[in-house]
Structure formats: C-alpha cells, structure tokens
Structure 1
Amino acid sequence: MYTDTERCVRAVRSKDARFDGWFFTAVLTTGIYCRPSCPAVPPKPANMVFHPSAAACQQAGFRACKRCRPDTSPGSPEWNQRADAVARAMRLIADGTVDREGVPGLAARLGYSTRQIERQLLAELGAGPLALARAQRAQTARLLIETTALPMADLAFAAGFSSVRTFNDTVREVYALSPTELRARSRTRPAAAGDPAPGAVSLRLPLRAPFTPDNVFGHLAATAVPGVEEWRDGAYRRTLDLPHGPGIATLTPAADHIGCRLALTDLRDLTLAISRCRRLLDLDADPVAVDERLAADPALAPLVAKAPGRRVPRTVDAAEFAVRAVLGQQVSTAAARTHAARLATAYGTPVEDPAGGLTHLFPSPAQLAGLDPEQLAMPRSRRATLTTLVAALADGSIGLGPEEDWDEARARLLALPGFGPWTVEIIAMRALGDPDAFPATDLGVRRAAERLGLPGAPGGLTTRAADWRPWRAYAVQYLWATDDHPINLLPA
C-alpha cells in the first residue's frame, strides 16, 4: 500500500488507525517517522515519504516519533494472510528466528539461499532480515526499559543485543534518547528493585478496531486444558514452552487493547512470548477488510453488523494444537479436555504458578513419542492416528511452524491415517493460521448455514462460500456464533 501515495496521504490526514502497521510516514522536515494515526498535525504532502516497515524508516535515517510510538503499531496483516516466502520470513522474524539462528537459519527454514531471502525482503519491505530483526530488538528494548527495573547491561542482552554498546547506539538512533533518558520519560513506573517476580512484564498488546473478544476468549476458555490453561479473574491464562524455560501468559480483554502479563524464566524469551500471544488472539488481523467482504453476503451481513471484528482463535504451539485436534475427533469438548489434561499430567513438564492453578506445559512431540497407546482411553483407530501424528511431528516429516507452506502442510496431514478434511482444515485454521481455511464438514458450521438458509451439505456450502474468500476462516467464526455454545460467550 505504501506505494499508493494519494491513499496514504488521505489516511494520514484523517488519522485513520486502521492503517497503522500497513505503512509508516517519514517526515522529511523533522527526520521522524510516524504511524498513520499520529495525533500530531499532519505535514504537507510534499514532506511525506512512505515506507513499508519501521526498519526501512530507520535504515533511511528517520527516528521514531515519541508521541505516536510507531514501533508499537499492530503488525501488518499482510504476513498473516499470505503464504509466500516473504510472509513466512516475516512470521519467523517475529518469532525471533534471526536472533537465535541468524540469517542463514532463517533462509534454511524457508528453503532459500541467504541472498534470495535478503533480495525478496529488500524489494518488498525496504530492509533486509538483519535490519528487520534489529527494529524488533529496539522495540523489545524500549518495552523492557519502560516496564522493568533491570540494569541496562542485563536488559541489553535480554532484548537480544550482542553488546551493551550496540544496545546504547541502537536505542539512541531509533528513539533519539539514551536508554536512561527513555526510562526517565516513561509513563509506566518500572517494577521496584528486588521485585519477587523479576521475569514479570506487563504491557498492552495493540489491535485494530473493531474487536469483538467474545468468541476468541470464549473458545479458549471453553476448551482450556486443566493445568495448562485456565480462566481466572476475567483473564485467560496459560503456560508457554519457550527456548530458555517455561513462561505463563495472562491475557485480559479490553475495548482497544489486550492487557498482557508475562511471567518468564528468562527475559530473552520476551519477543517470542509476545509474538505467540498476538498470534493466539489473531491481533494482527485486518477486521475492516474481513468484514467488508463477509458483509457483502446478505446471509452474513446481520451477523457482522451485530458483532464486528471477530477474530480466529489460534494457538501458541502448532504441534500442541494438532495433537489436541486428534484428541477432539468425534468426542465432546469436555472429553477432549480430559484426554489432553491426562497427557499433560503424565508427560508435560511441571511448572510453578503462585498466581493461579497452572501446573504443566503441554508435552512436546518428543515427550509424547514414548507414550503407550494402550493407556489412552479412546478407540484403537484414533490411538493409531495420534501416535502416527506424534511420530511425524517428532521426526520432522510433518512441520506446522510459521515457515510452512499451507497447502503442502495440508497434503502431508491428509496422507496420515485417520486425517480427514475436518481435522486438516481445523489445524490449517488454528495452527497454521490460514485465514481461508474452511471446515465445511463441521457440524456446527453446517447447522448454522442451514439456519441462515445456506446449503447444509459440505459440497454445496463450499461452493456458496467461494464469495467469502480469502476470509472463510472468519466466516466460520460468525457461523459458529449463531449457536449458544460456551465457545461463543465471554466467560464471567
């Protein structure tokens, strides 16, 4: 979009928050860059230059606006609605892959050479993978500076910088303030020294309006695995399996943001934890584009008007969700939760949770590889399906990470015994993140379609749903919402 100058100028003049994250405005006369909704008086069009990423602005020599904080914009929805190499690279960078594995690791995951990935990112985002990762580290550093009392040296390494000097130089370059000055200006009071929870960080996760939290939080609460997830005091809480140790996320819905408290073993996992929470709640979605397409259908228009901005409940761990999808085949929600809780208790890593009732991480495929199928209280055919899936996830023959091509992943899943269209599309929708996934055989979807006068048979419904593309996963959320199932209700 950043190449459409006229459209960008209109968005900046109207301070339209819907375009935050889609592009950034660099102001030639001041040397700063802003989000489109910046409350400052818009500059003259001749003084505006538009860039596709914060990293591109920083590479061009612009510093972040202290008023609108463009680095805290919601992520571009482009990366969650596409499956090409650039979109997959951006999802991996958001997960901290460059920080952990370097650019060669990023390229290897995508099956390209380092030069190919750098060229594609430069062409579309105006910055290479190192610059994009650097911009993300700067944002993490600002967050830690303003919300913790960590010494700056510890904070630098927690944010992913290789040295304190690089940390200081980057913060000064991006924010035109030293780290100490940035902390002094902070509106958030850092935790006191000696805080009994030194790995705890509280922040707000930005989102695009409109936002209806009922179905996403209702779904997560209704299907929560005891010990791994819970709804407590108006918030959804769950354990996180992170590279440097377990963590716990507490997510609280609000009108214009999500309150997020992260209790981490090691603050180096902060960027990844934030990325997973955003993905779980589908916070980088473009609800205006989604709802415009779906509301064009007379059958869906009343549902969209009643509760616009529904999100797709996703997952923090694709492998975990795939296992749970198999456990949920042809059983009730309560039975699926019971099966999953037994696996977590038997094979998951124990965690401590002084603030609630969380007890375990959900077991990884490697931990589940040794499970005895005879101990599973389910039909023999489903035991075989589960053990085959676990083995494929553990040996890497099935991959469900951010780097995966959605269609290729579907084909591999369908080749497994016991995997039909419903299971594959549910995994594509919630684990892979395909916004066009469509479980046409789902009983709830079919019943809702019939109540709305739409075809109830999977074939006819799929044909009818062609007009909803590429947002059929969101159409499913509106269809499910016609029922009074607990997944559609924000818990009390």
Structure 2
Amino acid sequence: MHEDFERCLRAVQAKDERFDGWFFTAVRTTGIYCRPSCPVRPPKARNMVFHPSAAAAQQAGYRACKRCRPDASPGSPEWNHRADAVARAMRLIAEGVVDREGVPGLAARLGYSTRQVERQLNAELGAGPLALARAQRAQTARLLIETSALTMTDIALAAGFGSVRTFNDTVREVFALSPSELRARAGRGIPAVTTGALLLRLPFRKPLCPDNLFGHLAATAVPGVEEWRDGAYRRTLRLPHGHGIAELWPLPDHIGCRLSLTDIRDLPVAISRCRVLLDLDADPAAVDEQLRADPVLKPLVEKNSGRRVPRTVDPAEFAVRAVLGQQVSTAAARTHAARLVAAHGEPIEDPCGGLTHLFPAPRALTQLDPASLAMPESRRRTLLALVHALAEGELDLGPGSDWTAARDRLAALPGFGPWTVETVAMRALGDPDAFIPTDLGIRQAAENLGLPSTPAALTRHAGLWRPWRAYAVQHLWATGDHPINLLPA
C-alpha cells in the first residue's frame, strides 16, 4: 500500500487509524516517522515519504514520533491472511526466531537460502530480517522502559539485545532519547513490578466484538490450563526459555494483559502469542465490508461488527484438542483434555488463581497408554498418529508453516476428515479463509437464515465471503444459543 501515494496521503490527512500498521509516514524536514493517525498537524505532501514498515523507516534514518508512538501500532494484517514466504517470515520474526536462531535459522524454517529471504523481505518491506528483528527489539525495550520498574540491564536482556551498549545505542537511534530519558518522559507512578510480571496494553484496530472471542475461550477452557477468573481469561504458556501465565481482559480501546514469566527473555514471544490468540492484528474494516456484501450476513455483521476468530497460543495443543473434540460435546472434549493434562502435563505454580499445568507437549503424549483414553479405538489411533507426526517433525503447524502442505499432511493422517482439517486450519494455522460447512452448528445456522444447508451448496454460496470465510463462521455460530457466543459474567 505504501507505494500508492495518493491513498496514503488521504489516510494521513484524515488521521485514519484503520491504516495504522499498514504503512508509516516519514517527514523529510523533521526526520521523524509517524503512524497515519498521528494527532499532530499533517506535514505538506511534498515533505512526506511512505514506508512499508517501521524497520524501513528506521533504516532510512528516521526516528519514531514521540507523540503517536508508531512502533506501538497494531501489526500489519497482511501477515495474518497471507501464506507466502514473506508472511511466514514475518510471523516467525514475531516469534523471536531471528533472535534465537539468526537469519540462517529463519531461512531454514522457510526452506529458502538466506539470500532469498533477505531479497524478498527487502523488496516488500524495505528492510531485511535483521532490521525487522531490531525494530521489534526496540519496541519491546520501549514498552518495558515505560511500563515496568525493571533495571535497564534486565530490559536489555528481555528485549533480546546482545549487550547493554547495543541496547542503549538502539534506543537512542530509534527514539532520539536515552533509556533513562524515555522512562522519565513516561512520568512517575511506574508500578513496582518484579521480574517476570508485567501489565501491558495490547492495541487493536477498531471495532472489536469481544463476546464470541472471550466467550469461546472461556466455554472451551481446559481445567488446569485455562480459566475465567474475575473478568479475565487466564492460561498457561509454554515458551522457549520457560513458561508463563497470561491474563487477558477486554477494554474499550485495548486488551488488558498481565504476563507472569519464569524468564523475562520470553516477553516478546508471549506478547506475540497473545495477539495471535485474540486475532488482534485483523483488519475488521476489510472483513466486515466483504461479508456485509451478502444480504444474508449484512444484519449479522452490522449487529456485531469487528468479530475476531479465537485462535491459539500453541498450534500443536489445539490440534490435539481438535481430535479430542471429534463428534463429542464441548463438555466431553474438556473432560478428555483435562485427563491428558493431569496425567501428562507439566505442573506449574499459580499464586493468583487455579492454573496447575502446561498442556502436555507432543513428545510427552507419545508415551501415553491408548487403553487409558476413554474414547473409540479409531479416535485413539487418530490421536497417536497426530502426536507422533508432531513429535517427529513430520507435521509443522507453527507460525512459519506452509498452510497447503500442513492441510495435506493432516488429511493424510487416519481419522482426519474435512471438519478436523479445516478447524485446525482456522484456529491453529490462522487461515482466515478456512471453512467448515460440515459443522452441525454451521449447517443449522445456514438453514435458519435461508442459506443452503448442504455442505456442497453452502460452500458454493460461501464464495461470496472469500477470503474471510473463517469470520463468516463466527457470525453463523453466533446465531445459536451456546455459551461460546457470550462474554462471561
């Protein structure tokens, strides 16, 4: 989009926050870059230049605006609805792969050479993987400087910098302030937070409908791993350097987030996974516009605009839970999952609630006794085939996975029909066009709305909703009387 000067200019002149994260405005005369909705008076058009990423603006020598904080914009929705190499690379960078494994590790996960990855990212984003990872580290550093009482040394470690000196130099270069000046500018009253516990604000593009988002997570919560407590959804997280607990609750202009981590280095990954879980980088304007074009869906969209797709913090966990939920009620699926957790999950401590375990990793589940599973023999075979494929690396459902290849591999496993494959594609892979026309709730909703109710006919009609069929599924489910559609009290 940044190459369409007139469109970008109109967005800046209108201070349109819908475009925050889509592109960044750099001002030649001031050396500053901003988000499109920056509240200051727009500069003259001849002084503007547009960049596709904060990293590109920083690489061109611009520093972040102190007023609009462009580095804190919601992420570009491009990386959540595309399945090409650039989108996969951006999802992996958000997961901290470059910080942990370097550019060669990123390239290996994508199946490309380092030169190919750098060329593709530079062509589309104006910056290579190292610059993009550096911009992410800078944003994490700023967040911690302004919202925590951590020492600057701890912040440098948490943000992924190799040294305190590199941390200091990067902060000064990107924000034109030293770390201590940034903290002073944020004002007094920084909470006395201990290492590993942080209170954050997660931005999103408005509107956002929290009902089905939090309702679904609460209604399907696995005891010990997830819970709804005091108006917040809480769950355990398995992270690269340890584990954590995330607490999330909806507010009018952001999502409240409290993270308790055993290793502060996991902060960027934990934030990224919470954003994915709640689909916070979605573009509701584009989604709603497409779905509203269908006269049948139009009243549903206008009643509850901004619906998100509840996703997952752990694709492998969700795939296991999808198998446990085959042809059983939500309550039965939770019971099956709770038994797996009690028998094979890793115990953790939760001083603030009732969370007790991490969901078992695929490797741990390869050791389970099939006879201990209170389910049909065919489903036992399906579960064991899945966990072995995940444990041996034969199936990749992670943020850098190829959606088409993952679907094909899932479909080749015994017991994986279209419903399970598309459910995993929607919730674990994050494909916004995943569609489950065989789902009973979808078929009943379609029939009640006067839509075709047979899978083939409904799939043909759903061509009108592409590439956002997963969001249409949320609207159809919401027509039913089920706890997943209600924000818990």
In the TM superposition, what is the alpha-carbon distance from 1:65 to its structure 2 partner? 0.4
Please say if residues 147 and 188 of structure 1, whose CA atoms lie closer than 8 Å, have aligned partners that are also in contact: no
In the TM superposition, what is the alpha-carbon distance from 1:430 to its structure 2 partner? 0.2
TM alignment of 1:329-368, pairs within 5 A: 329-368=326-365
Distance between the aligned counterparts of 1:411 and 1:26, measured in 2? 43
Counterpart residue identity of residue 350, structure 2 = D
In the TM superposition, what is the alpha-carbon distance from 1:190 to its structure 2 partner? 2.6
Counterpart residue identity of residue 82, structure 1 = R
Other structure's SS at 1:356 match: coil
Please say if residues 171 and 179 of structure 1, whose CA atoms lie closer than 8 Å, have aligned partners that are also in contact: yes
Distance between the aligned counterparts of 1:147 and 1:311, measured in 2? 27
Distance between the aligned counterparts of 1:256 and 1:208, measured in 2? 9
Other structure's SS at 2:395 match: coil
- Determine whether 1:487 maps to 2:478: no
Q: Deviations over 1:369-403 (max 9, x none)?
A: 10001000111110110011000000011110111
TM alignment of 1:260-409, pairs within 5 A: 260-409=257-406
Q: Deviations over 1:411-452 (max 9, x none)?
A: 100000000000000000000000000011000011101111
Q: Deviations over 1:97-134 (max 9, x none)?
A: 00000000000000000000000000000000000000
Distance between the aligned counterparts of 2:35 and 2:150, measured in 1? 29
Match of 1:115 in 2: 115
- Determine whether 1:124 maps to 2:138: no
Please say if residues 349 and 362 of structure 1, whose CA atoms lie closer than 8 Å, have aligned partners that are also in contact: yes
Distance between the aligned counterparts of 1:333 and 1:306, measured in 2? 26
In the TM superposition, what is the alpha-carbon distance from 1:188 to its structure 2 partner? 6.8
Match of 1:472 in 2: 469
Distance between the aligned counterparts of 1:400 and 1:365, measured in 2? 12
Count of residues in correspondence between the two structures: 489
Other structure's SS at 2:235 match: strand
Cα pair distance change 1:478/1:172, threshold 3 Å: same
- Determine whether 1:215 maps to 2:212: yes
Please say if residues 319 and 365 of structure 1, whose CA atoms lie closer than 8 Å, have aligned partners that are also in contact: yes
Distance between the aligned counterparts of 1:352 and 1:147, measured in 2? 25
Match of 2:144 in 1: 144
Distance between the aligned counterparts of 2:70 and 2:128, measured in 1? 19
- Determine whether 1:243 maps to 2:233: no
Counterpart residue identity of residue 337, structure 1 = R
Counterpart residue identity of residue 286, structure 1 = D
Counterpart residue identity of residue 135, structure 2 = A
Q: Which stretch has the larger CA shift, 324-333 or 401-410?
A: 401-410
Other structure's SS at 2:375 match: coil
Q: Deviations over 1:227-270 (max 9, x none)?
A: 00000011000000011111000001011210000000111000
In the TM superposition, what is the alpha-carbon distance from 1:85 to its structure 2 partner? 0.2
Counterpart residue identity of residue 361, structure 2 = S
Distance between the aligned counterparts of 2:148 and 2:326, measured in 1? 44
Other structure's SS at 1:21 match: coil
Match of 1:76 in 2: 76
Counterpart residue identity of residue 7, structure 2 = R
Other structure's SS at 1:142 match: helix
Match of 2:98 in 1: 98
Counterpart residue identity of residue 440, structure 2 = L
In the TM superposition, what is the alpha-carbon distance from 1:189 to its structure 2 partner? 3.1
Aligned residue among 432, 436, 444 for 2:433: 436
- Determine whether 1:155 maps to 2:155: yes
Distance between the aligned counterparts of 1:58 and 1:327, measured in 2? 47
TM-score, normalising length from structure 2?
0.99
Other structure's SS at 2:353 match: coil
Match of 2:177 in 1: 177
TM-score, normalising length from structure 1?
0.99
Other structure's SS at 2:346 match: coil
Which residues of structure 2 form unaligned runs of 5+? none
Give me the identity figure in percent. 78
Runs of 4+ in structure 1 over 2 Å off: 187-192
Q: Deviations over 1:144-188 (max 9, x none)?
A: 111222221222112100011110000000010000111111147
Q: Which stretch has the larger CA shift, 140-149 or 308-317?
A: 140-149
Counterpart residue identity of residue 63, structure 1 = R
- Determine whether 1:447 maps to 2:441: no
Other structure's SS at 1:3 match: coil
Please say if residues 146 and 188 of structure 1, whose CA atoms lie closer than 8 Å, have aligned partners that are also in contact: no
Q: Deviations over 1:306-336 (max 9, x none)?
A: 0000000000000000000000000000010
Distance between the aligned counterparts of 1:153 and 1:38, measured in 2? 32
Counterpart residue identity of residue 477, structure 2 = W
The Cα RMSD (Å) is 0.8
Distance between the aligned counterparts of 1:257 and 1:487, measured in 2? 21
Q: Deviations over 1:36-61 (max 9, x none)?
A: 00000000111110000000000000
In the TM superposition, what is the alpha-carbon distance from 1:10 to its structure 2 partner? 0.5
